[in-house]
Amino acid sequence: MQKEETAGIDQNADQLKACVSEATQHFITSLASLTEKLLLEMDDALTVDDVLPADVQIPKEKLSTLIRRNRAGRPLDGAEFKPLTEGSSRVWSGITVIDPTDPKPQGEAGIHITASVTTCKTTLGHVSAVDARDSAYSKFLQDVELELSNIQEETKRNHFEAQRWKEWWIQSVHNIKGLYM
């Protein structure tokens, strides 16, 4: 009976870990799919740069700054306007997936990468979407690690309680036998 209880505790822990693993795979697949759709939708969105060329006024420099640049052999016209993001196409990498329920992922077999996404342009929206995806993935991995440690702690606690009950039962049987002998 005690062996069955111990096996049941271990089986329950394995089922919980399998459930966490399945939920993790589902979340990652959904996150990658959503991000891909979002990036492709942003490609179709019209931006100001698509309609009007950038009209940048170069700020005037102080005379002392210009003299220092001249002496250093650098150009006097100052820094060119550089947009916050490049407007050209870009390949956005997929999510590197390591199954947190696998105790020791074996090299390449334990790790895979979701599909990368190629967009026609790069905007702040694209960058923000990928940053939000990466942030959500990191937070989710922390939550998964916490859940796995909770499962492990609950399993240890259940084994301890089963062992304590077994010892109490043996002691009770011994005490009862002592009364009748």
Buried b (16+ CB within 10 A) or exposed e, 26-37: ebbeebbeebbe
Distance CA 58, CA 55 (A): 10
Q: Quick: pLDDT tens for 44-90.
A: 888 777 777 666 666 777 888 878 888 888 777 755 555 555 667 88
| pLDDT tens-digit profile, the chain (181 residues) | 678 888 999 999 999 999 999 999 999 999 999 999 999 999 888 877 777 766 666 677 788 887 888 888 877 775 555 555 566 788 888 888 877 666 665 555 567 788 888 888 888 889 999 999 999 999 999 999 999 999 999 999 999 999 999 899 999 999 998 888 7
Nearest to 87 by CA among 36, 51, 117: 51
Radius of gyration of the chain (CA): 31
pLDDT at 109: 54
- Domains in the chain: how many in total? 1
Q: Quick: pLDDT tens for 67-78.
A: 888 888 877 775
pLDDT at 123: 87
pLDDT at 151: 95
Q: Give the domain range for residue 101.
A: 2-180
DSSP letters, the chain, are -HHHHHHHHHHHHHHHHHHHHHHHHHHHHHHHHHHHHHHHHHHHS--HHHHS----PPPPPPHHHHHHHHHHT--TT-PPP--SS--S-EEEP--EEE-TT-SS--GGGGEEEPPPEEES---HHHHHHHHHHHHHHHHHHHHHHHHHHHHHHHHHHHHHHHHHHHHHHHHHHHHHHHHH-
Single pTM value for the model: 0.71
pLDDT at 37: 94
pLDDT at 120: 87
Q: Which residues contact 144 (CB under 8 A, 6 or more apart)?
A: 20, 24, 100, 101
